[in-house]
């Protein structure tokens, strides 16, 4: 059998227009051998879920820079589980330390801090996917 590739969907949810960070993350994950499906800006929870189904994504990564993470994070979690999907959700961007616990308890699988190194980004994504595969 051919190699089994990790496929991760990266997107920006809502109106926030910063895509520098997410593009860097895309390259880091590509360089780690993953297939990154990049959806770009201004996605909705619905468009992300539909894309995740079509692309059979192993993980969804969202980047947030406009402090919307505490509402949008849980919304995305609900949209994923509402569609009956079991796909880990990783959030990166600017998430203050004090919000991390809230996000995790709302069902977000992992959070990538603003200062994460390339190795850390890859390890967090791999770790998030592993939580599902152990099931």
Q: Is residue 20 part of the contact set for another protein (CB under 8 A)?
A: no
Number of residues this chain uses to bind another protein (CB under 8 A) = 38
Name, in order, each residue with C-beta under 8 angstroms of 55's C-beta and a sequence gap of 6 or more. 7, 9, 37
Nearer to another protein, 103 or 128 (CB): 128
Selected from 18, 38, 74, 99, the binder of another protein by CB under 8 A is: 38
Q: Is residue 17 part of the contact set for another protein (CB under 8 A)?
A: no
Q: Is residue 39 part of the contact set for another protein (CB under 8 A)?
A: yes
Q: Please state, in angstroms and rounded to a whole number, the distance separating the CA atoms of residues 120 and 135.
A: 23
CA angle 31, 6, 49 (to 5 degrees): 115
Q: Please state, in angstroms and rounded to a whole number, the distance separating the CA atoms of residues 22 and 39.
A: 10
Nearer to another protein, 53 or 78 (CB): 53
**Of residues 50, 41, 39, the one with CA closest to residue 9:** 39
Footprint of another protein on residues 43-102 (CB under 8 A)?
43, 46-47, 50-51, 53-56, 58, 84-87
- How large is the greatest C-alpha to C-alpha distance in the chain, in angstroms? 45
Selected from 13, 22, 36, 103, the binder of another protein by CB under 8 A is: 36
Nearest 5°: phi and psi at 107?
115, -5
Q: Is residue 26 part of the contact set for another protein (CB under 8 A)?
A: yes
Using DSSP's 3-state secondary structure scheme, residue 107 falls into coil
Selected from 21, 24, 35, 70, the binder of another protein by CB under 8 A is: 35
| Residues near another protein (CB under 8 A) | 1-5, 7, 26-27, 29-40, 42-43, 46-47, 50-51, 53-56, 58, 84-87, 132-133, 135
């Amino acid at each position: 059998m051919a190699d089994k590739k990790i496929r991760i969907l990266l997107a920006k949810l809502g109106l926030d227009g910063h895509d520098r960070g997410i593009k860097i993350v895309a390259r880091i994950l590509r360089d780690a051998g993953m297939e990154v499906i990049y959806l770009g800006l201004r996605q909705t929870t619905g468009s992300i879920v539909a894309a995740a189904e079509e692309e059979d994504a192993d993980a969804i990564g969202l980047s947030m820079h406009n402090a919307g993470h505490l509402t949008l994070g849980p919304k995305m979690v609900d949209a994923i589980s509402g569609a009956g999907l079991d796909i880990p959700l990783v959030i990166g961007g600017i998430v203050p330390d004090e919000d991390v616990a809230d996000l995790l308890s709302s069902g977000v699988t992992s959070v990538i801090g603003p200062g994460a190194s390339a190795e850390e980004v890859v390890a967090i994504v791999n770790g998030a996917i592993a939580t599902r595969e152990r099931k």
